[in-house]
Amino acid sequence: MASPLDVVLLAAGEGKRMHSALPKVLHRLAGRPLAAHVLDAVRTLVPRSIVVVAGHRADDVESALGAPDVRFVRQEPPRGTGDAARIALRALPTDGVTLVGLGDVPLVTAQALASVAEIAQSGRLGVLTAHVTDPFGLGRILRDDAGCVRAIVEERDATPEQRTIDEINTGFIAAPTVLLGPWLSRLTPHNAQGEYYLTDIVALAVADGVDVAAHVTTDEVSVQGVTDRGQLAALERVLQRRQADALMLAGTTIVDPNRVDIRGTLRCGRDVTIDVGCVFEGEVRLDDGVAVGAHCVLRDMTVGRGTRIEPFSHLEGSTVGADARIGPYARLRPGTTLADEVHIGNFVEVKASTLGTASKANHLAYIGDAQVGARVNYGAGSITANYDGANKHRSVIGDDVHVGSNCVLVAPITVGAGATIGGGSTIAKEAPAGQLTVARAQQVSIARWQRPRKKAKV
């Protein structure tokens, strides 16, 4: 019977080469902290417990990564990965297997971690390694003539000959906890960094006669860590391309898969088309036949079948029905629900409002905190004045209403079904159903009026 699996995630480092006030593990990849990606992979192993070691700006790390299944311990002051793992083990029972890994290796796969944990289940020390094209700066795997792992040496402590080795330590190890604890307690800081290296436990295991086995991953990119912003940008493109490829294989047309960013979850029906430069954040669902034009931003959106979103539109926290037309340059703010066949045109903003079937606001308009019926035509330049300086108020606009251009509907207000609001009107009282309501100043022309003229320069 397999021993319970416990996981320790090291997230205490500052990340000096990021040149940032933000802890390295909180820098974002595809819209989420680096360490969150590692936690996702870890959770697929269904561990008994997850312990995250925080240090630099620990409050921020704990706030960003906090979850019911995560416990935190703090490493203060920072004294290396071995010291961090030792602190974490104090929070764990000794009857299981412990997997220790780094929070800045975001593309590590669950399959690779499972393989390392499986080695530890047999009483051995498991190490995740990879052969890489450029091992500079990384710990090297030292093997004996029989090919057995004997030690890990860090770049700064390696000899010139050892630095030619291309098999590297990825930062993930697993061992029976009852063995790991004593090894960690025997670590010493006798190295170029003056730190307690987690990797030194390999030599201790060999000295104790415990077998060390490596799982060598063939996916070099999956074990690349992030130490600077250039590496972060490179991994961003890798992950974005993988997500785009998966969507295209499932039937989505992406005009240029190198120019799309998915910073959350994007689910697409059949025959969805996505043009260049689009950004998807949070949870986004595009039903069959949706077309998203160039340079749109969609955050936490559901878009119905056959709807077309024209370029440069920003949509957030809203639901759009089928066969709607949005944009270009439209903005939907949170709390908006649009029924089927609604048209929201260029430079129209809708906030916390509902629009019924086939209603249209095609030009330069604002609809806020409003309930708009079906087949309403909302004129250019018209707005709902929903804020009195202290509180928001709602407008109710019935079915088949026509609102002329350049109107102001002062909420709270009700416009009855079938009403027409004359252009240029400021409406502050109920507009009766089926009637024309006009509220504008009387037009006056002054025959002999002359414009002021600039004074001549002396």
- Structural domains of the chain sorted by starting position, each given as residue range(s) with its CATH number in brackets: 5-223 (3.90.550.10), 242-437 (2.160.10.10)
The predicted model scores a pTM of 0.91
Nearest to 335 by CA among 371, 283, 295, 388: 371
Site of tokens 């035509």:
377
pLDDT at 355 over 90: yes
* pLDDT, position 1: 79
CA distance 236 to 37: 12
Please, what's the b/e burial string for 116-141 (b: 16 or more CB within 10 A of its CB; e: otherwise)? Answer: bbbbbbeebbbbbbbebeebeebbbb
pLDDT at 457 over 90: no
Q: Which of 131, 295, 314, 363 is catalytic?
A: 363
* Peptide bond preceding 328 in cis form (omega within 30 of 0): yes
Order across the sheet with 343-346: list the strands: 253-254, 273-274, 291-292, 308-309, 325-326, 343-346, 360-363, 377-378, 402-403, 420-421, 436-437
* pLDDT, position 452: 87
One DSSP character per residue, 136-158 reads TTSPEEEE-TTS-EEEEE-GGG-
pLDDT in tens, 12-30: 999 999 999 999 999 999 9
* pLDDT, position 192: 77
* Residue 47 token pair: 């561990």
Look up 19 and say whether it is catalytic. no
- What is the C-alpha radius of gyration for the chain, rounded to an integer number of angstroms? 31
pLDDT in tens, 420-430: 999 999 999 99
CA distance 74 to 243: 35
pLDDT in tens, 283-312: 999 999 999 999 999 999 999 999 999 999
* Residue 153 token pair: 């040496």
**Backbone phi, then psi, for 278, in 5-degree steps?**
-85, 145
Confidence of residue 392 (pLDDT cuts 50, 70, 90): very high
pLDDT at 458 over 80: no
* pLDDT, position 333: 98
| Residue bearing the bigger pLDDT, 449 or 407 | 407
At residue 447, what is the residue type?
A
* Peptide bond preceding 77 in cis form (omega within 30 of 0): yes
